[in-house]
Amino acid sequence: MSGSGGKGFVSFVGSGPGDPELLTLKAVDRLGRADAVLFDDLAAGPILGHARPGAELVGTGKRAGRISPKQDQINRLLVDYARRGARVVRLKSGDSGIFGRLEEEIGALRAAGIPFEIVPGVPSGIAAAAALGIPLTRRCTARRVQFVTGHDQTGRLPGDINLAALADPAATTVMYMAKRTFAALAERLLAAGLPADTPAVYAESVSTPAQLVRRATLGSIAAALADAGDGPALVLYGPLAFDDAAADPATPLSGEDE
């Protein structure tokens, strides 16, 4: 560890959706110089191969339904390592500023007077669209993109969702952590007037060897969700630029099932 008793430095590094080739050059540099890497489960695997030999690798993953460190424990680890003079990488999946609880960890560092930086990563929603070969925006028909979370602290669909915004036919919506709750949301979207033939996509383990992407429609998305696997997943819906938007949702576009 570099130094003892001096003030260290924390780099919040977005690891992207899982493919190590999607890491930024800055992310690789910070991993290669870190004394300690505190990593989430979804940012593990081959990405950790870029860590400096001898660096401490500390798993801090938070996965639904599993025993995992509390947020205040993670905050304390960041502060403790930095106070010992370490160069710390806090490795988060996707982009750490999108549903990554970044604000809480930054707040702990600011309160302790510890300097930090944020290294952006490729968001999994962007990577999912790339895997499909489509844009998230379309001139005149999809001028707005919205990223939303599929569950609250209890694991349920948030009770204060902005249904009018989510049912906007001119917006592309990317819903993270949507596997358990999107079927219920789809019913509400249909009741709010969003057409049943609105294109939708279920994307799981994007950019990894286990990638599975299924096309559907809002009216048929429940079938795709019923056949979902165990990997991290999201749902995209809206005016997506498919040639065959009503493709059979049971047919994977890519992944190990091909």
Catalytic site residues?
40, 62, 177
State the Cα–Cα distance between residues 171 and 195, nearest whole angstrom. Answer: 13
Reference 88, options 72, 101, 105; nearest CA is: 105
